Chains A and B, each alone.
Chain A
Amino acid sequence: QSALTQPASVSGSPGHSIAISCTGSSSDVGSYNLVSWYQQHPGRGPKLIIYNVSYRPSGISNRFSGSKSGDTATLTISGLQAEDEADYYCGSYTRSGSNWVFGTGTKVTVL
């Protein structure tokens, strides 16, 4: 199955908010509340920051929030900080193929 579509890059100034979209289809994002988001710093493994569309794991800042509308999920980072500069990936359950699909990834730059 095709990867979920994310913008290649998003940037923002410290203290501001940014949003990263993750667009799928009715086979995945549109039909299941099983979207998760991962943050990855260079040379490190990914880190879960949002699961089941909008839930934060213990220890994850409330500056990270998730939502979904139709076939598109969105990760919002508020109060942008230098440490938020990283790659971000979405992922979702899908009823096709291997039952899991990742997004294409978004590089976040803090200006």
Chain B
Amino acid sequence: EVELVESGGALVQPGESLRLSCAASGFTFGFTFSRFWMSWVRQTPGKGLEWVAKIKPDGNEKYYVDSVKGRFSISRDNAKKSVYLQMNSLRDEDSAVYYCATSSGWYFDDWGQGTQVTVSS
């Protein structure tokens, strides 16, 4: 069973930066981490779930929701079975629980337990 563990969430002030990490484990034979697209999805009580960013298995293609383009950067290390989200110039509206998730198609197969990011002065 795939397990995803996010870390790095914190309370930060507007304009500051934060780097989230997601460590994956439990992949069965033939379903390795390096075969999956990886995404970050965030959730707020008011706006619900929002897809934030995704990265191709080989790391060569990356996509972002418009509201984070130019501020957030997704990356991955297949050898470490990890995906990262570098968040710069954080805003109040970036406050959310951030989940990482695997994708084998146009859906999210497995999710982590989330990490809380709070942006407040």
Interface string of A39-53 (1 = CB under 8 A from B): 000001111100110
Contacts from B to A (Cβ < 8 Å): 4, 48-51, 63-66, 99, 101, 105-114
Q: Tell me the interface secondary structure of chain A in the complex.
A: loop
Interface segment, A9-17, A18-26, A70-78, A94-102? A94-102
Given that A91-B49, A100-B51, A104-B48 are known contacts, is A48 also in contact with B63, CB under 8 Å in the complex?
no
Q: Which A residues, 35 to 66, have Cβ-Cβ distances below 8 Å to chain B?
A: 36, 38, 44-48, 51-52, 57
- What number of A-B contacts does a CB cutoff of 8 Å give? 58
Q: Once bound together, how far apart are the Cα atoms of A57 and B1, in whole Å?
A: 13
Partner of A46, one of B50, B64, B111: B111
Does A34 lie within 8 Å of B111, measured CB to CB?
no
